Amino acid sequence: MRKIVLTFGLLAGAVLSATMLLSTLFWDHIGFDKGMYVGYTSMVLAFLMVWFGVRSYRDNAAGGRVSFVRAFVVGLLITLVASSCYVATWEVIYYNVSPDFMDKYSAYAIDQAKKSGASDAKLAQIRKEMADATAMYKNPLVNVAMTLLEPLPVGLLFTLVTAVAMSRRRRVGEPAVA
């Protein structure tokens, strides 16, 4: 199981990390608006490895059958490996390449609020919230936790769907797995 988890987790992590690195290089062209779409699309593609990893476990290590719990555990471990790669890549980028990320994001959020016609009171509230978030984000533990919350829900959804699909019981009349 360890080899399957590491293989598929690192493949998914490589997709997440490579996309993040490329996005950072081309951030001026992508921007915050499109960056979310690029990021979550890469997560969906990367977490397809959960499906392939659990299927590989079922077919090669579990004799063709896997319980929901075992499929969920394998998928969860793949998700955690991939998410760890994502977080590690972001930490390197944040502290070495883009330490001003939160300042840029704050400016973007305030600009978006202005464009939507927010009142002066609302703008002041957004400025305060962004200043608080920027201060919190400087704490490495908060930074890691907030970064982990980006890919983890997507990976958990893929894990749940995969575990349900891979653990379905055979219908009457279906051939037994050899």
Give the C-alpha separation, 123 to 20, whole Å: 30
Question: Mean of the pLDDT values across residues 20-26?
Answer: 89
Residue 35 has what pLDDT? 85
Whole-model pTM over 0.75: yes
Give the C-alpha separation, 66 to 63, whole Å: 8
Give the C-alpha separation, 109 to 12, whole Å: 30
pLDDT band at 178 (very low <50, low <70, confident <90, very high): very low
Phi, psi of 145 (to 5 degrees): -65, -45
> Which tens digits make up the pLDDT trace of 97-138?
888 888 888 999 889 899 888 888 988 999 999 999 999 988
* 174 pLDDT more than 60: no
Residue 150 has what pLDDT? 94
Lowest-pLDDT range, 7-16, 50-59, 66-75, 165-174? 165-174
* 165 pLDDT more than 70: yes
Residue 149 has what pLDDT? 95
The residue extents of the domains of the chain are 2-166
Amino acid of residue 103 = D
User: In terms of residues, how long is the chain?
Assistant: 178
> Which tens digits make up the pLDDT trace of 46-103?
999 999 999 999 999 888 889 999 999 999 999 999 999 999 999 999 999 888 888 8
